[in-house]
Chains A and B, each alone.
Chain A
Amino acid sequence: MLCPVRRHQRGQSLVEFAFTIGSFLLVLFGALSTGLYAVQRSAAVTAAAAGVRAAASAQSSSPNDADLAAAAPLVRSKLRPVLFGSTLTAKPAGTPCDPLDAIPRGQLQVCATLDPADDTMVLVIVRGKPLDLLPLVPLPWTIDAPAEIHRVTFTR
């Protein structure tokens, strides 16, 4: 049978261990969550850039119009490997994305439009709130990755 002092020490060690392992796991999951978010966000920025370059090209049937519909499939193919359970919705070409507050958690949107302030510029945005992968650390990550480029022009 343990004497009261040794029993007390065992309890203290248990509390210390629980506290240390809890803090360690918090940091570990926080770092993992940060890493996954960084991968997702980088992919979203790269995908938006690839999408806007495709969207800025001319349509095959109408060389004076930007091919806005070309952006979404390209963005989708680049983002698919890093969605981690989130869904990607493509807005119809020319329709702006919803405000960030209106997009539910676990959903990303891609939208391709002409810049409302300057119609010589094509704008593609990947926006949304990726799914919380680690419930222990529900960090409020959001993605808002815009890419804008001048439309391709043709002269003879």
Chain B
Amino acid sequence: MTSHRSRGAGQALIETAITVPVLLVLLLSFLLAMVVAQAYVDLDTATSLAAASAVTAPASNDALSHEFARKTYDGTLHRSSYLEPGQLDGCGGYIAGGTVTCTGHAVLFLSRTPMAILQPFNADWQMSIQATATGYSSPYRST
């Protein structure tokens, strides 16, 4: 092989070695961003439903308001394979004509998603996320 040809082959190898990892990182970044965004959508939905549920409880009954919200929050999230429901703050004390605001916390287990290939030796790769939502009572409700 001439030195000119071997230099050309070496250059192609270096170009490929740079291009392929860059493209792979780009693709995996898209996927990671999507997984995190979807987790936020799920959490936001569960928190909104929890707040909506809390305002359907009898007025001035903190315990029942919170129970409705908690059951709704857990019920929506517990079927998820990568989200684990955590604390649910607020969500109590509905007063007639008022609103209820809930803040839901959850742990997103990235190690249980296909993104685990990014950290193959970290079986506990996770991130904490939270969402806040407000529930409004029905205008047809008398108390």
- A: residues with CB less than 8 A from B are 5, 8-9, 12, 16, 19-20, 23-24, 26-27, 30-31, 34-35, 37-38, 41-42, 45-46, 48-49, 52-53, 115, 118, 120-121, 123, 144, 146-150, 152-153, 155
Q: A53-B49, A149-B49 are in contact. Are A30 and B4 (CB under 8 A)?
A: no
CB distance from A10 to the nearest CB of B (A): 11
Q: Chain B 50-78 against A: per-residue CB contact (8 Å), 1 yes, 0 no?
A: 00110011100000000010011001100
Contacts of B30 in A (CB 8 A): 30-31, 34-35
Q: Are B42 and A45 interface neighbours, CB within 8 A?
A: yes
Chain A residues touching B, majority SS: helix
Contacts of B57 in A (CB 8 A): 153
Q: A115-B75, A121-B72 are in contact. Are A42 and B38 (CB under 8 A)?
A: yes
Q: A12-B8, A16-B15, A31-B27 are in contact. Are A150 and B56 (CB under 8 A)?
A: yes
Once bound together, how far apart are the Cα atoms of A147 and B46, in whole Å? 7
Contacts of B27 in A (CB 8 A): 26-27, 30-31
Q: A24-B23, A34-B31, A146-B79 are in contact. Are A52 and B49 (CB under 8 A)?
A: yes
Within 8 A of A (CB), among B31-55: 31, 34, 37-38, 41-42, 45, 48-49, 52-53
B16 within 8 A of A: yes
Q: Are B16 and A27 interface neighbours, CB within 8 A?
A: no
Contacts of B34 in A (CB 8 A): 34-35, 37-38
Contacts of A152 in B (CB 8 A): 56
Q: A24-B23, A149-B72 are in contact. Are A49 and B45 (CB under 8 A)?
A: yes
Once bound together, how far apart are the Cα atoms of A52 and B26, in whole Å? 37
CB distance from A100 to the nearest CB of B (A): 11
Contacts of A9 in B (CB 8 A): 8
Q: Are B41 and A148 interface neighbours, CB within 8 A?
A: no
Q: A45-B41, A147-B45 are in contact. Are A12 and B75 (CB under 8 A)?
A: no
